[in-house]
Chain A
Amino acid sequence: MIREFSQSEFLFILASARWTLLLTVLALLLGGVLGFVVAIARASRLAPVRALAAGWIGMIQGIPVLMLLFLSYYGLSLAGFDMPPVFAASVSMAIYASGYLGEIWRGAIQSVAWQQWEASAALAMSRAQQYRYVVLPQAMRIAVPPTVGFIVQLVKNTSIVSIIGVVELARAGNLINNATFQPFKVFGTVALIYFMICWPISLLARRLEGKLNAGRTG
């Protein structure tokens, strides 16, 4: 029996967007914390720490997200951890995000002029104070555009977790399409919802950029 694409189908798709959002937020929070650690480690004065962080970034960027997903889903369940797919999905998306955010933020930190390190060191600041008051505020300004670009990618890339059975936005669209055979309506709706998530993020970023540029003529 072929169903119509009516209100209840639309609501089903819309409701499934919560998993897309949840995955994005979790990946950002966990991946952000891990990515921050990686970025700082990448700029460390200790060579082994730098190498470890570089290795992590290289590994994550060299592996398809799909493999990270399979590794955390099948790998962890084989290792005896019984967990809901959403958990494995969050873990893999967070690891994926840490690799990219780490690299973006490392670049931002290292683009701050070395004289800023020297001037703050000469004022007797500790390494932590240099980061907190001098380097990170300047790095943030540089990091905003690429970070937002990555977040938008992340929202869209969460669709990959449908493969292990998480019914997020893309998977919900697929299910409804299988029942209604109205791909234009269904996937048009799905696309629109993705857009409605990503567009405000870009807008917000533009406002934030303006704010961080206060006092800059260049």
Chain B
Amino acid sequence: MPVVRVEGVHKRFGAVEVLKGIDLTVEGGQVIAIIGRSGSGKSTLLRCINGLEQIQAGRIEVAGHGLDASAKGLRDLRKDVGIVFQSYNLFPHLKVGENIMLAPRVVLGVGKAEARRRAEAALAEVGLAERFEAWPDNLSGGQQQRVAIARSLAMQPKVMLFDEVTSALDPELTGEVLQTMERLALHGMTMLLVTHEMAFARRVATTTVFMHQGRIWEQGPSERIFSAPETPELRQFLGGGLK
């Protein structure tokens, strides 16, 4: 059974139709990169998958939860979907460890010891085991982003969404975040990432999806997408993007 199933999804912001009928299936363990120009709808698609944006038509199903209008259904779905944002969005009033333990404690109701164990494991996974007691403001952007990844991991999601997570980082810091993501992929995490890092998408993603004007324009195995793009739009996009 696929982890994520998106069927005929339409999304409008006012009069502007951003998603014009999206169908996408993500199997367990798959890493899917979504590429495309700004405004092609790729971030919106990601945000629809965990209900941060409401869709007007179609169906989204994640790990057996259908996305419906009720708040309860939405929260159940979000327990299984982690998302990492471009701007990290750590909670500045909590230390790193507390940032990670908060949701497992209050949302999933796990005990303090278990939450701590999960947080330590998640921090180790992103290579920041020793920063448990640090304040977010005292970390570099790359480290904050890795803590944000750990915060999502501690919920033990079935799929992780990454929304241009390196776009706000220097090239140097981008590397450490990408390495962290690559390690997650190796450990079998199902991942859906919107990215401008073409080399990373080509190397790590099993499938790459090219979005154009609110539609999935072309998709396929990453190697094929990058080496032999079929549509002129993708060829043009890659030609400009790879320089």
Contact = CB atoms under 8 A, between A and B. Distances in A.
Interface of A: 113, 115-116, 118-127, 129, 133-134, 137-138, 141, 214-218
Contacts, number: 70
B85 A118 contact: yes
Nearest to A132: B106
Interface of B: 50, 52, 71, 75-76, 78-79, 81-83, 85, 87, 89-93, 95, 102-103, 106-107, 135-138, 151-152, 155
A118 B89 CA distance: 9
A218 B52 contact: no
Given A134-B91, A138-B92, A122 B83 contact: yes
Nearest to A137: B93
A115 B137 contact: no
Contact of A122 (B52, B136, B137, B138): B52
Contacts of A127: 71
B75 A215 contact: no
27 contacts: A115-B87, A119-B89, A119-B90, A119-B91, A121-B78, A122-B50, A122-B78, A122-B83, A123-B78, A123-B102, A123-B107, A124-B75, A124-B76, A124-B78, A124-B79, A124-B103, A125-B106, A126-B71, A133-B102, A133-B106, A134-B91, A138-B92, A138-B93, A215-B137, A217-B135, A217-B137, A218-B137
A65 B81 CA distance: 52
Contacts of B151: 123
B27 to A, nearest CB: 23
B77 to A, nearest CB: 8
A170 B152 CA distance: 58
B137 A216 contact: yes
Given A121-B52, A129-B107, A216 B92 contact: yes
Contacts of B102: 123, 133-134
Main secondary structure of the interface of A (DSSP, over half): helix
Contacts of A126: 71, 75
Given A118-B85, A123-B155, 19 more contacts: A115-B89, A116-B91, A118-B52, A119-B89, A120-B103, A121-B78, A122-B50, A123-B103, A125-B75, A133-B106, A134-B91, A134-B102, A138-B92, A138-B93, A215-B135, A215-B137, A215-B138, A217-B135, A218-B137
A137 B102 CA distance: 13
B138 to A, nearest CB: 7
Nearest to B83: A122
A218 B92 CA distance: 11
B107 A116 contact: no
Contacts of A115: 85, 87, 89
Contact of B107 (A124, A214, A217): A124
Contacts of B90: 119
Nearest to B102: A133
B210 to A, nearest CB: 26
A108 to B, nearest CB: 13
A126 B107 CA distance: 8
Contacts of B81: 122
Nearest to B107: A124
In this complex, which of B50, B92, B155 has the most chain A Cβ atoms within 10 angstroms of its Cβ?
B92
Nearest to B137: A217
Nearest to A213: B93
Q: Which are the 4 A-B pairs with shortest beta-carbon distances? A: A215-B135, A119-B89, A124-B78, A123-B103
Contacts of B52: 118, 121-122
A116 B151 CA distance: 14
A215 B107 contact: no
A116 B106 contact: no
A124 B75 CA distance: 5
A158 to B, nearest CB: 34
A215 B93 contact: yes
A125 B151 CA distance: 13
A62 B204 CA distance: 62
Contacts of B50: 122
B45 to A, nearest CB: 15
A183 B155 CA distance: 69
Contacts of B95: 215
